[in-house]
């Protein structure tokens, strides 16, 4: 079990800064996601926590002890890679027992440990098979088995499901999460897949260009994005953005965009300048009435819902509505926004205005 505290952690490669001063806390037993697009610095952050990369500055505390400059072997952390990193010529049992044998654990104890891990992962039946011929999913289970067999303080996982096809990936994600819930060990998990992060994580750090954009629970990040980057990166289709120039007073509950006034959550601070009105597709409703109107450009059927693209004076808007609502291309529809779910952003900084 481990609580991990990251304080002003920074990594430079020559004159390139891969991770800007990052700070966050991973609670004991949490399933913690590092999420962001390719190259944003998530793997580098994970590698620093695991001890595979030396920080340029800042501290890493595991259970209160600063370990940032200690070798990986002294941190008691297991690393699970995307590339299964197994020994293909050995059978499953030997792959899983390898870390214990190399520690010099007595044979009987090793056998008992491997049997227990195999039972947890449901792979008792393949212990004597060579890993070379196993399916992707079984290989991933063996890789997990090798990581959990020595009961480390924490797990670091770098896109562990990246090599699996979409359908199986979802199944393994559920399995992994269930395994975590049974074992309760702190897990730090790198992914660029926002859905995976939302489904699996207790907490998420969203990174972009080496900077932490937001840190919080999946629901909070989805409902209250701190920046336009987060709002755009999380959710599919992503949040609609309408750019406009205007002003809002402190305490305002509506904002004027051209000829129309739209409801917003109560503002704490005043703002004047270029703003962006952000609303998720599912927080838009279409009606026959309403003076904010647009023309339907497309309707994409998704089963219970459909995504309707509407051309308005302020730009294109995507709305997620029930598929029982009949819409045809060329229809003129009224558009309403769920005021409580709107986010206003400062257009220049991209930060949410509250």
- Dihedral sign for Cα 186, 41, 70, 216, please: negative
In terms of CB distance, is 35 or 121 closer to ligand ATP? 35
User: Smallest gap, in angstroms, from Cβ of residue 247 to ligand ATP?
Assistant: 38
By CB under 6 A, tell whether 160 contacts ligand ATP. no
Provide φ and ψ at 276, rounded to 5°. -125, 130
Contact between 15 and ligand ATP by CB under 6 A: the answer reads no
Please state the closest distance from residue 13 (CB atom) to ligand ATP, in A. 3
CA atoms of 94 and 83, how far apart (whole Å): 18
Half-sphere exposure of 352 (CA within 13 A, CB side): 24
Smallest distance from ligand ATP to CB 42, Å? 4
Which residue of 39, 130, 315, 336 would you call a contact of ligand ATP, by CB under 6 A?
39
Rg (CA), the chain: 25
Q: Does 40 bind ligand ATP (CB under 6 A)?
A: yes
CB closer to ligand ATP out of 43 and 240: 43
CB closer to ligand ATP out of 33 and 342: 33
Angstrom distance (rounded) from CA 255 to CA 259: 11
Going by C-beta distance under 8 Å and a sequence separation of 6 or more, which residues neighbour residue 230? 206, 213, 214, 221
Between helices 136-148 and 92-102, what is the axis angle to 10°?
20
Complex with ligand ATP: residue 90 or 198, whichever CB lies closer: 198
Residue 13 touches ligand ATP, criterion: CB under 6 A: yes
Shortest Cβ 44–ligand ATP spacing (Å): 3
User: Cα dihedral sign for 72, 77, 83, 89?
Assistant: positive
Chain position whose Cβ is nearest to ligand ATP: 43
336 sits in which H/E element = strand 332-337
Cβ-based nearer residue to ligand ATP, 41 or 278 = 41
59 DSSP β-pair partners:
7
Element (H, E) at 308: strand 305-312
Q: Smallest gap, in angstroms, from Cβ of residue 230 to ligand ATP?
A: 15
In DSSP notation, 140-166 reads HHHHHHHHHTT--SEEEEESTTTTS-H
* Beta-ladder partners of 312: 294, 315
Considering the rule CB under 6 A, would residue 18 count as an interface residue with ligand ATP?
Answer: yes
Q: How many residues bind ligand ATP (CB under 6 A)?
A: 12
Q: Which of residues 99-128 bind ligand ATP (CB under 6 A)?
A: none
Least Å distance between CB 201 and ligand ATP?
16
**Can residue 41 be called a binding residue for ligand ATP (CB under 6 A)?**
yes
Asked if 33 interacts with ligand ATP (CB under 6 A), we say no
**Interface with ligand ATP includes 197 (CB under 6 A)?**
no
Which residue, 38 or 73, has its beta carbon nearer to ligand ATP? Answer: 38
Q: Contact between 86 and ligand ATP (CB under 6 A)?
A: no
The 246-275 contact track toward ligand ATP, x by CB under 6 A, reads ------------------------------
Cα(91)–Cα(22) distance, rounded to whole angstroms?
41
Pure H helices in 28-126: 42-50, 92-102, 107-121
Which residues of the chain form contacts with ligand ATP (CB under 6 A)?
13, 16, 18, 36, 38-44, 192
């Amino acid at each position: 079990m481990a609580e991990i505290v990251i304080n002003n952690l920074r990594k430079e490669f020559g004159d390139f800064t891969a991770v800007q001063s990052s700070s966050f806390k991973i609670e004991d037993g949490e399933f913690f996601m590092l999420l962001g697009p390719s190259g944003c610095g998530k793997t580098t952050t994970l590698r620093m926590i695991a001890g595979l990369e030396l920080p340029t500055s800042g501290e890493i505390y595991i259970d209160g002890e600063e370990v940032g400059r200690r070798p990986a072997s002294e941190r008691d952390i297991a690393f699970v890679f995307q590339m299964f990193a197994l020994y293909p010529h050995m059978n499953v049992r030997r792959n899983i027992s390898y870390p214990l044998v190399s520690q010099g654990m007595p044979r009987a104890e090793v056998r008992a440990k491997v049997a227990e891990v195999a039972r947890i992962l449901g792979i008792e039946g393949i212990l004597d098979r060579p890993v070379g011929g196993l399916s992707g999913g079984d290989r991933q289970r063996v890789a997990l088995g090798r990581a959990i067999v020595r009961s480390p303080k924490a797990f670091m996982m770098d896109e562990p499901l990246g090599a699996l096809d979409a359908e199986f990936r979802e199944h393994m994600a559920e399995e992994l999460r269930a395994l975590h819930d049974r074992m309760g060990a702190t897990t730090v998990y790198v992914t660029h897949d926002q859905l995976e992060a939302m489904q699996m994580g207790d907490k998420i750090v969203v990174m972009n260009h080496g900077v932490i954009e937001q840190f919080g629970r999946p629901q909070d990040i989805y409902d209250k994005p701190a920046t336009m980057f987060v709002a755009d990166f999380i959710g599919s289709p992503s949040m609609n953005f309408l750019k406009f120039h205007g002003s809002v007073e402190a305490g305002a509950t509506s904002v004027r965009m051209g000829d129309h006034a739209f409801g917003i959550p109560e503002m704490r601070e005043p703002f004047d300048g270029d703003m962006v009105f952000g609303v998720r597709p599912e927080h838009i409703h279409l009606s026959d009435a309403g003076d904010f109107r647009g023309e339907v450009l497309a309707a994409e059927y998704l089963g219970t819902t459909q995504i309707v693209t509407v051309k308005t004076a302020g730009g294109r808007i995507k709305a997620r509505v029930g598929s029982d609502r009949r819409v045809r291309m060329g229809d003129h529809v009224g558009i309403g926004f769920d005021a409580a779910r709107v986010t206003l952003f400062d257009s220049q900084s991209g930060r949410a205005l509250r």
